[in-house]
Each structure stands twice: as C-alpha cells, then as structure tokens.
Amino acid sequence: MGKRILVTGGLGFIGSHLCKRLLKEGHQVVCLDNLLTGQIDLLGELSSDLNFRFMNWDVVNPIPIEEALDEIYNLACPASPVHYQRDPVKTTQTSVLGMLNVLNLARKNRCRILQASTSEVYGNPMEHPQRESYCGHVNIIGIRSCYDEGKRCAESLCMDYHRQYGTKVKIVRIFNTYGPNMSKDDGRVISNFIVQALRNEDITIYGIGEQTRSFQYVDDLIEGMLRMMQTADDFTGPVNLGNPHEITIRQLAQEITRLTSSQSSLYYCALPSDDPCRRCPDITLARKELDNWCPKVELNEGLQHTIAYFKQILCDETV
C-alpha cells in the first residue's frame, strides 16, 4: 500500500525528479513549493497523476497540512549561488525557520523526515575526500554563508529534535548533481556550460579552471535518498551522496564543448569569493548503510541526457 509523502521544494530540479519517482512507486505525493526558484512548468506532467497534489506555500510559515503523513522529504531552499545569494536573508530563513516548521510537522505525525543537506557544509575543505566526520572549513561571514551556515544549522536542528523528541530524522549531504529539469539560468556549472555551448557563446570559467568537482546524475541521487529513508530509525546519518570521481572545471568545459560540437571558446574570469578548490565525497558510509549504493550513470552518458534536455528547452524558446 502506498504512503502519503510530503516533498517540500517539490518543483525544484531534484524535487521534481523525487516526486516523479515516488508517484511511479504508487505513493500519494503532496508537493509544496513557493515557486521562488521552483519551476511551474514542471507541474504539468506531475499533476496528471491523481495521487499528486500541489500546494503553493512557503516553509518559513507553519505548514497547514492536517492529513496524516508517512514521510517527509525537505528540499526547500535555493541551491545555486545565483539564487541563494539573491536574497541571503530569505535563504537563511528557509533553511532555519523552514527546518523548524517541517520538523514540527514530522514530530506531530511521528513520521520519518529526510533533510536534503549539502556538501557546502564542508566549505573549502582541508580534508580530501570529505568524510561525514569532517567538520568543515566554512567562512561564516562570507557571501556563501547564508546557504552554508543555514544548512549546517538545519542539520543541528534535526539532531536536536532526534535527541530531544525522538524524531526520526535522516540527513543526506548532496554533492554536485545534474540532469534534466535543471533551470537554464540557475547558475550551476553544468547548466551554464551546456547552455553557453549550445548557443556557441564563450564558456565562462572562474579562475584557471583547475578547481575540481564530482558530478552525479540525478537518478543516482534519488536512488540514494530513497534508500536512506528506508534505513533503521536509529540511523540518522549524515551520509554523503555524490560521485567520488573528480574532474577539473576546465576538463568539464572541454567535454561539454566536444559533446555539443560547439564553436565556443573558453573565457576565464576572476574566481568568486570562498569558491572551494576541491570537492569530492568519501562514500564509504553510503556503500555500507545504503545497500552498497554508488553512482551508476557515467558522466558522458549523463551529460548526453542533459544536453538533449537543454536542446529541447532552447528549441521551444525559439518557436
């Protein structure tokens, strides 16, 4: 029998994929989004399922859901620097006040709640690769701190609710993720590079492009989140969900240029403040606790799916 599941931030990039997967498995999904960065265009395909219900609501306010919930996935927060730095106060409110409201709802329903945290809690790491035990190297007053510190505080609240009230919390730290349903203007590196390449515009690289990232395809992330939700009540995490294979930003730009047969050139500009030099997860814990979870989709394959998606998006805009 299906569950009734709340997904906050359900019209975002990751949230929309999560809603689709949950519906496919026969669950009832309540999708909550304030549409600040959520994409209303993604609502069409989801709303055709009778088990789907959409609420236009902001998690900074108490959530008016009276029916019983079996699970909650909290993905409500802008996740790209362009969006979360646009209104940093709102970003912090979403991470902290929103977390409190969602935790209170989970406590009321005595249900499990999964918090979508982030690799940004590690800041510009001094440890490599990053293990869950690493406490991070974060500039608490920098321009990224609204997101970094907001997510760190949200993790703290999860653990306090678990210890004080017995709330069944699950924390995953999400590393760079990509795939269809990304917004073309969200400022993330893969969407930026693909859109620029398809338009034959200069591909913008910050610094000299030697900083590394590790990219996981969205389907792999969703599988890890679902497995995390099904772990025993006493296992809270946090657990890293990411791809341990590193690639430099310059190599990524070159690969996207090749796959799109683009005429774009690489354009180098100043590195943003507090931009991490290296970011790569240690997924030993995920392998152990999540039934040997690890990313399955190779970067080349995932990029081709994502490029095809953006080709269609750009084509639709010209019609």
Residues with catalytic function? 147
Q: How far is CA 117 from CA 121, 142, 155, in A?
A: 8, 19, 7
88-109 vs 145-165: helix axis angle to the nearest 10? 20
User: Distance between CA atoms of 240 and 103, rounded to whole angstroms?
Assistant: 21
Task: Show the tokens assigned to 39.
Answer: 């994409």
CA angle 73, 190, 138 (to 5 degrees): 65
Strand partners, 8: 32, 74
35: left (phi over 0), alpha (psi -120 to 50) or beta: left
By the 8 A CB rule, do 218 and 14 touch? yes
By the 8 A CB rule, do 267 and 205 touch? yes
| Helix (H/G/I), strand (E/B), else coil: 93 | helix
Q: How far is CA 87 from the centre of its chain?
A: 18
- Tokens 């406490």 map to which residue? 135
Q: How far is CA 43 from the centre of its chain?
A: 18
DSSP per-residue string spanning 125-179: -SSSSBPTT---B--TTSTTHHHHHHHHHHHHHHHHHHHHH---EEEEEEPPEE-
Helix or strand (DSSP H, E) at 71: strand 71-74
